[in-house]
Structure 1
C-alpha cells in the first residue's frame, strides 16, 4: 500500500467505525473513487485491533468495572457490574449466531453489493431519526435489563448486513428503548468490545488461510486507526450530550444517495 492509502484507510476506518454513519459505505466509496486495490485481510485485522484499543482506552473505567464485576461472579457475588458483564456477553450471542448463518448460506460477499450498502445506509438513517424523535431520554445503563440488552444485541446482529452501521443501529435501538443518547452510545461501545475482538480473530483466520504476509503497513494503519477512533469516540460523546442525532441522519442520506448514483448511473 502507498502511504496515502494507509493514512486514508486508517482515518476512514477509525472515524466511521464509531460514528453512526456506516463504515462499510465509506470503505466502498473511498477505494472506488481512488481506484485502490484491496488492502488484504491482515490489514483488516490490524485496523480492527486499532478500533478495539480505542474503546478500551476511552472507556477504561467502565471496562475495569466490568472485569471486576465478572471476577466477583466467580466468587459467588453478584454486583450491578457483574450483571452488566453478563448482559453484554448474552447480547453478543445474536451477532455470533447471525454471522454463522450468513457464512453457512454464502452471504459473506454482501459488502461488495453497493446497492445493499446504499439502501441500508438510508433505511437505518431514517430509523435513527424516528428513534431519536420518539424515544424518551430517561434511562441510563444502571437501568439496563436483560431484555433491553438482548434487543440491542439483536440490533447489533443486523449490523452484519453492510450499510447498517454497528454503532448506528445499536444507538438507535437504545433510543427506542428510552436510553439517553450518551448512555445508548456508551452501552453500544461496550457491547462492541467482544464483537470486535471476535471479528478480529475470524479475520486473522482468513488472513492465515490466504497465506498473507505480515507487513509494517498494517501496523502503521493500526496506530493511525487507534488515534482516529479515539478522536471519533470523544467527538461523538461530546456532540450527543449537546444535540440530537440529526446531523448523522443527514449525512447518511447524502452518503446513501451518492452510492445509489454510483450504482444506477
Structure 2
C-alpha cells in the first residue's frame, strides 16, 4: 500500500464509520473497485481506532462523567441508581456479545464474511431493517429510559456488525429505534457502545499489521488512522445535528443502491467476490 491509498482509505473510514452505511463494507468494496485488493480485517480494525479516538474526544465530558460515576458507585451504594453509573454497566454488558463472538468467529470474520456476495446482501437487508425501524419505531424514549434489557438487545444488534455490510452504528440504531428511542438518543448511545469493542479489536489486531496478507506496513496504517480521526470527528458532529430533525431514509436508499450495485458488479465479473 502506498501513502495515497492510505489517505483515500482513511477518508473512506472517517466518512462512513458513524453513518449507518458500514465502513467495513466500503473498505472492502472500494479498494476492490480501484484495483487495490482487499485491505484485510486487521488493517480495517486498526484504522477504526482513529475514528473511535474521535468519539473519545467528541464525547469526553460524557465519558468522563459516566466512567467516574461508575467507578465511585462501586464503593458508594447511593450512586448506583444514578443514570451515569447504570450507563457504565450498560456499556460493559452491551459490549460483551461483540467481544465474545468476535473472538469465537475471528477466522470466519477475516475470510468468509468478507465475501462481496455477503456484503452486498447485508447492505440491502440491513438497509431495509433500518428503514422499517426508523419508520415504525417510536420517539418516546430518551437516554434516561435505557434499561438493562434494552442495553443487552442493542449490544446483540451491534454484534451483527461483525459481518461487513451490517454497520455497527446502523445495527445499534435500528434496534434502538425499534425499541422506541429517539433518533438522537439511539445514535448517541450507538457511538458510546462502540468504544470498547472497536478500540479492543484494533489493539488486538495491531500485531497483524506487519504480517498482513497484502504486506501493509506501519507507515500507511498510521497515516490512514490519523486521516480517519480528523474526518470522523467532523462526521460525528454532522450526523448528530442531522438526526435531530431528519430521518435515516437517505442512508437506507444509499445502502440498497450500493448493495445492489455491488451484487451486479460481482455477477458481471467486474469485482472479485
Mark yes or no: TM-score above 0.5. Answer: yes
Map of 1:50 onto structure 2:
50
Alignment of 1:1-265 (within 5 A): 1-39=1-39, 43-44=43-44, 46-76=46-76, 77-78=79-80, 79-103=82-106, 106-207=108-209, 215-265=218-268
Deviations 1:133-166 (A, max 9, x none): 1111011111100000000000011111121000
Deviations 1:170-222 (A, max 9, x none): 00000001110000000000000001111112211333666978533222222
CA distance in 2, matches of 1:26, 1:74: 41
Whether the aligned pair in 1 keeps the contact of 2:95 and 2:155 (CA below 8 Å) is: yes
The alignment partner of 1:136 has SS state of coil
CA distance in 2, matches of 1:197, 1:145: 24
Whether the aligned pair in 1 keeps the contact of 2:31 and 2:39 (CA below 8 Å) is: no
The alignment partner of 2:140 has SS state of coil
Cα pair distance change 1:41/1:27, threshold 3 Å: closer
Alignment: residue pair count: 264
Structure 2 segments unaligned to the other structure (5+ residues): 269-273
CA distance in 2, matches of 1:187, 1:140: 10
Q: What TM-score results when the alignment is normalised by the length of structure 1?
A: 0.92
The alignment partner of 1:159 has SS state of helix
The CA RMSD measured in Å over matched residues stands at 2.0
Structure 1 segments unaligned to the other structure (5+ residues): none
Deviations 1:203-248 (A, max 9, x none): 1133366697853322222211101111111111111112100000
Whether the aligned pair in 2 keeps the contact of 1:66 and 1:82 (CA below 8 Å) is: yes
CA distance in 2, matches of 1:18, 1:53: 12
Q: What TM-score results when the alignment is normalised by the length of structure 2?
A: 0.90
